[in-house]
Amino acid sequence: MALSSCSFKAIVTLAFLVLFMGGSSAQLSTTFYSKSCPNLFTTINSVVKSAISKEARMGASLLRLFFHDCFVNGCDGSLLLDDTSTFTGEKRAAPNFNSVRGFDVVDNIKSAVEQACPNVVSCADIIAITARDSVVTLGGPSWNVLLGRRDARTASQAAANSSIPPPTFNLSALISSFSAVGLSTKDMVALVGSHTIGQARCTNFRARIYNETNSLDSSLAQTRRRNCPNTTGSGDNNLAPLDLQTPTAFDNNYYKNLVNQRGLLHSDQQFFSGGSTDSLVRTYSTGQSTFTSDFVAAMIKMGNIRPLTGSSGEIRKNCRRSN
Ligand code: HEM
Ligand SMILES: *[C@@H]1O[C@H](CO)[C@@H](O)[C@H](O)[C@H]1NC(C)=O
Ligand SMILES: *[C@@H]1O[C@H](CO)[C@@H](O)[C@H](O)[C@H]1NC(C)=O
Ligand SMILES: *[C@@H]1O[C@H](CO)[C@@H](O)[C@H](O)[C@H]1NC(C)=O
Ligand SMILES: *[C@@H]1O[C@H](CO)[C@@H](O)[C@H](O)[C@H]1NC(C)=O
């Protein structure tokens, strides 16, 4: 039996609707606040710059907030919610506890934004812009940030535990965890170039510097052991730079280190360990511009993970709690 032209049209229309609604990125736009908050970018940028001038590492910490927000039920500001006696947020989840930082800077940005344009800009969008501004301030590429995300009223510690990959993962487990949020292997290898800035704690690289002598440059192992004792519980929070040479410059040195067996985390070295991502790491290690253009594309893609839009969620007044 042939479909009538009318029901055919209805099906085509439905298919289009499903396509557009399914690709939620179609709802974000670079001009979302151009009328409602024309000074948004300059307001955020000046707070980001002053925070980074006080402490260069802050740029790395702010960039990481965006990753840890987006991987857990989408880029919805859920990471920023504080725990209360009746609410368990994501800050004490395994990948975040004693590790994610920069919440005070986000508070300062939010206050400045609320002063400029009250009740219109979401915390989720603030961390998307803040991540871009941090990268730019540390010498990396710029891009136009898609906006229009709204803030979640909820958070999930369980999802934070299970969705953010730990540094003990092997390559195939890392590929799966990025694929679970719609990011490709190429997106992953470009995004992890973020480890060209920032610091890691001894507890996250101890096993590597004592036990992975086959895949770790011995002089780096010696150096890192000096400030990371081999006993669990001792010196756990001692810091070392993820990129040993230029930890406050957003460059492609991270990949050069991987090629030289100088990845600090087990997960870092997985990207150059005889597997499918070796050739991409080599490409990025020699070409800064290929890295930066792939990085930008992947940041935009990460920012499109399941945003709340329209009338879903809310615009929080204070990033630490639901209104
Ligand atoms: C590939 C999977 C990834 C793993 C397993 C991973 C793991 C880690 C770990 C263990 C640390 C150190 C945390 C600590 O010791 O307290 C860290 C730091 C960092 N990560 Fe990742 N990460 C990954 C991907 C990413 C991505 C995609 C981004 C950003 C787009 C990112 C940005 C950062 C930054 C900037 C830091 C330094 C933060 C600071 O100094 O405060 N990471 N990561
Ligand atoms: C998340 O991990 C932390 C630290 O391992 C643990 O204490 C907590 O119970 C976990 N939360 C959930 C909901 O699984
Ligand atoms: C990677 O880790 C997973 C999960 O722990 C394991 O099942 C798998 O065998 C590992 N793959 C390789 C190639 O080591
Ligand atoms: C190194 O590996 C051995 C054997 O698996 C283990 O007993 C030891 O605790 C590991 N050392 C570190 C520092 O992780
Ligand atoms: C850990 O360090 C101590 C002191 O340097 C040393 O005596 C011991 O053999 C080391 N253990 C391992 C597993 O490397």
One DSSP character per residue, 64-93 reads HHHHHHHTTTSSSSGGGPPPBTTB--STTS
Residue 302 contacts residue 63 (beta carbons within 8 Å):
no
In this predicted structure, what is the pLDDT of residue 287?
86
Q: What are phi and psi for residue 7, nearest 5 degrees?
A: -75, -25
Rounded distance from Cα 4 to ligand 1 centre (Å): 55
| Among 259, 135, 286, residue whose Cα is nearest residue 198 | 135
Answer whether 0.85 is exceeded by the pTM: yes
229: how many CB neighbours lie within 10 A of its CB?
Answer: 15
Residue ranges in the chain modelled with pLDDT below 70:
1-26
Residue listed under structure tokens 């400029």: 116
pLDDT at 295: 98
Q: What is the pLDDT of residue 20?
A: 41
Q: Are strands 199-201 and 239-241 parallel, antiparallel or unpaired?
A: antiparallel
Fold of 2-167: Peroxidase; domain 1 (1.10.520)
Rounded Cα distance between 156 and 148, Å, is 22
pLDDT at residue number 255 = 98
Identical fold, 2-167 and 185-292: no
Kindly report the CATH number that applies to the domain delimited by 185-292. 1.10.420.10
For the stretch 161-185, pLDDT in tens is: 999 999 999 999 999 999 999 999 9
Phi-psi region of 245 (alpha: psi -120 to 50; beta: other; left: phi over 0): alpha
Residue pair 318/110 in contact (Cβ under 8 Å)? The answer is yes
The ligand that comes nearest to the alpha carbon of residue 93 is 2
Active site residue 266: no
Q: Which of ligand 1's atoms lies nearest the C-alpha of 198? A: 40
Q: What is the pLDDT of residue 27?
A: 86
CB 130 within 8 A of CB 48: yes
Pocket around ligand 2 at a 6 A CB cut-off: 93-94, 157-158, 161
Number of helices and strands in the chain (H, E): 14, 2
Active-site annotation holder among 44, 52, 66, 68: 68
Rounded CA separation 32/23 (Å): 17
Going by the DSSP 8-state scheme, the letter that residue 185 receives in this structure is H
Give nearest CA residue, ligand 3 atom 14. 170
List the chain domain ranges. Answer: 2-167, 185-292
Q: How far is CA 17 from CA 22, 26, 127, 148, in A?
A: 8, 12, 29, 20
Q: Which residues line ligand 3 (CB under 6 A)?
A: 170, 172-173
Testing ligand 2's pocket by substitution, the residue of 99, 157, 162 carrying the most ligand atoms inside 8 A of its CB is 157
Task: Report whether 80 contacts 319 (CB < 8 A).
Answer: yes
> What does the block give as tokens for 223?
């150096």
Ligand approaching nearest to the C-alpha of 171: 3
Cα–ligand 4 centroid distance for 167 (angstroms): 16
> Ligand 5, from 209, 210, 222, 230: best to mutate by most atoms within 8 Å of Cβ?
230
The pLDDT, as a whole number, for residue 11 is: 41
Q: Would you state the pLDDT for residue 91?
A: 98
Q: What single-letter DSSP state applies at residue 247?
A: T
Which residue puts its alpha carbon closest to atom 3 of ligand 3?
Answer: 173
Task: For 20-59, write each residue's pLDDT tens digit.
Answer: 444 444 589 999 999 999 999 999 999 999 999 999 999 9
The DSSP element (H or E) to which 201 belongs, if any, is strand 199-201
Percentages of the chain per state (helix, strand, coil), in multiples of 5: 50, 5, 45
